Amino acid sequence: MIHAFTRHFAILRSVLSRILSPPVAGILNIIVIGIALSLPTGMYVLLQNGQSMVENLSDAPQISLFLEIAAKSGDVDALRSKLNQHPDIAKIEFVPRDQALEQLKHSTGLSDVIGGLESNPLPDAFIVHPKSGEAHAMEALKIELAKLPGVDQAHLDSAWAYKLEALLKFGRIAAMILASLLSFALVAITFNTIRLQILTQREEIEVSKLIGATNAFIRRPFLYFGATQGLLGGIAAYLIISSSLLLLNHQLDSLAQLYASQFELHPLSLGDSITLLLFSMYLGWLGAWLSVARHLSRIEPG
Amino acid sequence: MISFSQVNKRYPGGYQALKNVSFNIAEGEMVFLTGHSGAGKSTLLKLIAAIERPNSGSVLVNNQNVGVLKERALPYLRRNLGIIFQDHKLLFDRSVYDNVMLPLQICGFDHREGAKRVRASLDKVGLLNREKSNPISLSGGEQQRLCIARAIVNRPAILLADEPTGNLDVDYAKEIMDIFKSFHQVGVTLLISTHDTNVLQDRNVRVLSLKQGELQPAMNESRLP
């Protein structure tokens, strides 16, 4: 057991020294892999951030019903009982026009302007919470409510959030396509590196076979090489993404201060980071395996 | 230990390297294989190590028919053989020491365990003081001896040598023959191919003589007392 461990460790050590000799070529390889991985992963990080933003902002999708300015309290009561009986509505809130004006004064700092108004320009309003959060159902409900007597306008407040979410879905698919294409590129890079190595070590492989090396013994260093190179590429990708986020957050910070709000991009989570590293390691291993399977059998001593 | 029975070997292209070859080598025997270049000596040795396969007939090594051995089993056959190659097949990207270490690594020896054996092997062929050198800096005779050290480090029961004295002058050749003789004395089975008749003259050993792929009813074939 300890033997096996030290033996594998010895292979790993020789693999590391081989990756870095010549150092420039080895490091360039790792950086290329890192960049290839960081593109889809970076996209994923941005999408994740967009997703959490949407979830924060649109947790309560609602429809605002603005009544006609001339609506009397009798009309309002009739509308209220209609809305209460509607099967698709979970809850309603009534916002009288005076209260709306007060809120506007407080929340926007426009009190001077509003104080100068002769009469309240705001209508009474109902805020309707639908039972279903589905975009289609809400859209249909909005159209239906807009036709009720006494209703001037119906407004779907979180419509933009749904649009953003659809955009995010689109982005996710684009990221998936990019990820699969670049994964293929990573496999191809490793495939080629290993092919060159097998060619340069042809003699060693031949001699090893002649003195009793099993195929597994010959394969092992190449597979370790592929996996290690993939892992280092994954680490490079992680560093690229982390430093990019750091730069972006620095810039976002000053931007957010202008809007007097807090906003920052979250880095890769621990789980996602581990997934990235394992995946890149696996791709490197796969490229090496394919290469070894293809090229090693052709080297037969004779 | 090694037994050929009606072995034929034809290479792709039609060249008949061995014709109906049959012989037996007992355990602990030292046998010389002679013949001109192209007589089939190398082919015969390759058949024993299953580097080539016979077209017909059987090649038994340790009662195992190596002619039909599965690919997977080959490494384990070869670990029991020490092979000294005509072209040495040394690796010039590593030291003398590491060249001899290679068979032990393949068999899964630990570095510390292997070190003793490597040094014993190198000592046997007189290269212990060169263990850190690169094989490229060794003379032809030293490279040959390094190849022997690598072949014996596994302590194989059978040693095959293909023209081990081919390019060496008489003194070096004698040195190497003395090394083989010492292995013979400790019970190793040896099959040594050579086209150098000088080496054979003063030795009272068994000789297999090949001519154009056929085993000659050798006049000088005799056994050690």
State the ipTM, two decimals. Answer: 0.86
**Full domain range(s) for residue A105:** 63-156
Least Cα distance to A205 among B80, B49, B91, B42 occurs for: B91
How many folded domains does chain A comprise?
Answer: 2
Alpha carbon separation from B107 to A117, B24, B111, B158, B218 (Å, rounded): 95, 29, 12, 17, 39
pLDDT tens per residue, range B19-59: 999 999 999 999 989 888 888 888 999 999 999 999 999 99
Task: Identify the domain boundary among A156, A171, A196.
Answer: A156
Enter the tokens of residue B42: 């190398």
Residue A173 shares a structural domain with residue A289: yes
Domain end position, chosen among A137, A156, A175: A156
Q: Which residues of B touch A (CB under 8 A)?
A: 46, 49, 51-52, 72, 75-79, 83, 85, 89, 91, 93, 102-103, 106-108, 110-111, 150, 154
Q: Given A10, A206, A212, which is nearest B103 (Cβ)?
A: A212
Are A86 and A197 part of one and the same domain? no
Structure tokens at B152: 């014996």
Tokens describing residue A29? 């390889």
Residues A209 and A80 placed together within one structural domain of the fold: no
pTM, whole model, 2 decimals? 0.73
Percentage of chain B modeled with pLDDT above 70: 93
Q: List, in order, residues 6 or more apart from B225 with CB less than 8 Å away.
A: B204
- Give me the sheet containing A125-130, strands edge to edge: A89-95, A125-130, A63-67, A151-156
Of A3, A204, A214, the CB nearest to B91: A204
pLDDT for res B136: 92
Does A11 lie at the interface with B, CB-CB under 8 angstroms? no
Q: Which pLDDT does position A268 carry in this prediction?
A: 86
Contacts of A292 (CB under 8 A, 6+ apart): A194, A198, A219, A222, A223
Query: Are both A6 and A92 inside the same structural domain?
Result: no
**Collapsed DSSP state (helix, strand, coil) of residue A286:** helix
| Selected residue of B61, B77, B78 to mutate for chain A interface (largest A Cβ count, 10 A) | B78
Whether residue A292 sits in one domain with residue A240: yes
Cβ neighbours of A87 (radius 10 Å): 5
Q: Which is nearest to B155 in space by CA: B86, B95, B107, B99?
A: B107
pLDDT tens for residues A115-147?
Answer: 777 777 788 888 888 877 677 777 788 888 888
In chain A, which stretches have pLDDT less than 70?
A: 1-4, 56-60, 107-111, 133, 158-159, 161, 259-262, 302
| Residue among A7, A208, A301 whose CB faces B108 most closely | A7
Please determine, for residue B175, whether its predicted confidence score (pLDDT) is greater than 80. yes
Residues of chain B contacting A214 with CB distance shorter than 8 Å: 72, 75, 106
Q: Does residue A216 share a domain with residue A102?
A: no
d(CA B148, CA B142): 10
CB pairs under 8 A between A and B: 52
Looking at the complex, report in whole angstroms how far the Cα of residue B52 sits from the nearest Cα belonging to chain A.
Answer: 7
Contacts B85 to A, Cβ<8 Å: 210
Residue A224 and residue A77 share a domain: no
Residues A174 and A49 in one domain: yes
The reported pLDDT for the residue numbered B221 is 47
Same structural domain, A182 and A33 = yes
Q: Are residues A68 and A121 in the same domain?
A: yes
Given A120, A141, A156, the domain boundary residue is A156
A281 in the same domain as A229: yes
Q: Are residues A286 and A138 in the same domain?
A: no
Tell me if B83 and A210 make a contact (CB, 8 A cut-off). yes
| Of B154, B71, B46, residue with least CA distance to A214 | B71
